[in-house]
Every structure is written in C-alpha cells, then in structure tokens.
Amino acid sequence: MTNVRLTIRTLPELPYGAKYRCVFGSAEPIDAEVTEFGLSCPTPEIHKRPSIPPKMDHVLVPLSVRSSETNKDSSPETSPITTAASIDFMGNALGLSGPNPTHLSNHGFAYCPQFKKRDVILLPNNVLKEIVFEVKNLPHPQPGHTGFQCIIVIEGATMLVPARVDGKNIIVCDKTTYSYEANEGNTASVRVVWNRIHHVDSINVTLYK
C-alpha cells in the first residue's frame, strides 16, 4: 500500500483522542499518521480505488483532511492517487500550495511561518552565542504546548536548544556554545520548531574558528 505524504506547516493540535483522517474521493476515511513534516496517509486498498478510464493512465481523486472530532473536511485538493500531495496548514485554516479551488484569502506559502531574512549567519567556534531570527506569520503555541525550540545539527550531532519569543516576531535560540572538529570552516543546519514537531523554517549557518 502506498503512503501519501502531506507537507503541513503548523499543524493544529487536536484534543486528546482525536485523529486526523485522509479522505480520498468517496472512500472511507483513513487514519493519518502525524509526522515531522505533516501527515502520512495510506492510500485506499486497490479494490476501493476508482477505475481508470479507457485510454488513460491515471485518475484524479479529490483528497481532503478531516478531524475525527468534527468529521468535517478541510478544503480538498485534487491529486493523482499514486503521487504525493502537498498542503499547508496555517493556524486552523488550510491553504493549498497548488490550485486554489475555494479561493482562500490565506492561500499559499506566503502565509506560512518563515524566516523574514535569510542573511548569512556566522557562529564562532566555542563561543557562547544566541541565534536570532525574524519570523513572518509567527504561530502562537496553545496552552500545554512546549513553546519554541531550535534543532541544530553540526557534523552529524543534533542539539535541541530552547528558544523564546522576543517581541511580536523575533525567535531567539538561547545562548549556547557551538563547536566543531574540522580545521576549516563548517556548515551547520538550524531548524526552528514549536511544540517540538511543528516546523517554522530552517537555514544553514557558518561556523568558523
């Protein structure tokens, strides 16, 4: 069975016991798995898929996501059943990264959380340093969430650094000492998340001695 990967930013938390479900056309809803990139949905069994018309090599099926709590669909996206779909959640609204059949005003990548500037960031080796990001469309964690964190990968080693909100749109990774073994400059990746699993944005930074 093929899995459809849905890339979703700032996936809203559901109440305890509730699940996200994927609905392919008129097929029965299928429980989705929450992943670090959004959702993963198993496709319907072969006998539950629509027939492919004569002289065609595929069929398009409306794909929507619903909560088991409300049992109501988010805005659907038409996607080939054999390929991955891509959607974006912004708060409690669904914006499609492809066609916008429902003409949502907050449609598309521009409304998702992201770094406002992508300037070169330099981090000195073995020096206590904050990393500061200005963020557009900054999400607001709900009560019970763990807030923001910075996930930093240097030479294959991963660090989870607490982060805080400064003002309305600034994320600050707490002061931390970063080090690497190579003799020359090195590159590290920094990913900002909230509630540990919801992606805000990522960028590469330069370490130097």
Residue range 183-199, pLDDT digits in tens: 877 889 999 988 777 78
Strands (E), the chain: 3-7, 20-24, 30-31, 33-35, 38-42, 60-67, 77-80, 87-90, 93-96, 114-115, 122-124, 128-136, 148-154, 157-166, 170-177, 186-194, 198-208
Q: Residue 193 corresponds to which tokens in the numbers above?
A: 């998340």
Q: What share of the chain is helix, strand, coil (3-state, %, to 5)?
A: 5, 50, 50
* Spatial contact of 40 and 71, defined as CB atoms under 8 Å apart: no
**Alpha-carbon distance 27 to 29, whole Å?**
6
Looking at residue 57, its pLDDT comes to 61
Same fold, 3-111 and 114-208: yes
Collapsed DSSP state (helix, strand, coil) of residue 110? helix
Looking at residue 154, its pLDDT comes to 92
Query: Residue 206 phi/psi, 5° resolution?
Result: -110, 125
Q: What is the mean pLDDT of the chain?
A: 75
Residue 68 has pLDDT above 60, yes or no: yes
For domain 3-111, give the fold: Immunoglobulin-like (2.60.40)
**Alpha-carbon distance 42 to 35, whole Å?**
13
Residue 16 has pLDDT above 60, yes or no: yes
For domain 114-208, give the fold: Immunoglobulin-like (2.60.40)
Give every CB contact of residue 74 below 8 A, 6+ residues apart in sequence. Answer: 64, 65, 66, 87, 94
Where do the structural domains in the chain lie, given as residue ranges? 3-111, 114-208
Residue 89 has pLDDT above 70, yes or no: no
Query: Residue 7 phi/psi, 5° resolution?
Result: -85, 115
**pLDDT confidence of 129, banded at 50, 70, 90?**
very high
pTM of the model: 0.53
Q: Which amino acid is at 16?
A: Y
**pLDDT confidence of 139, banded at 50, 70, 90?**
confident
| Residue 34 DSSP label | E
Give every CB contact of residue 79 below 8 A, 6+ residues apart in sequence. Answer: 4, 60, 61, 63, 85, 98
Residue 65 has pLDDT above 80, yes or no: yes
Residue 18 has pLDDT above 50, yes or no: yes
Residue 80 has pLDDT above 70, yes or no: no
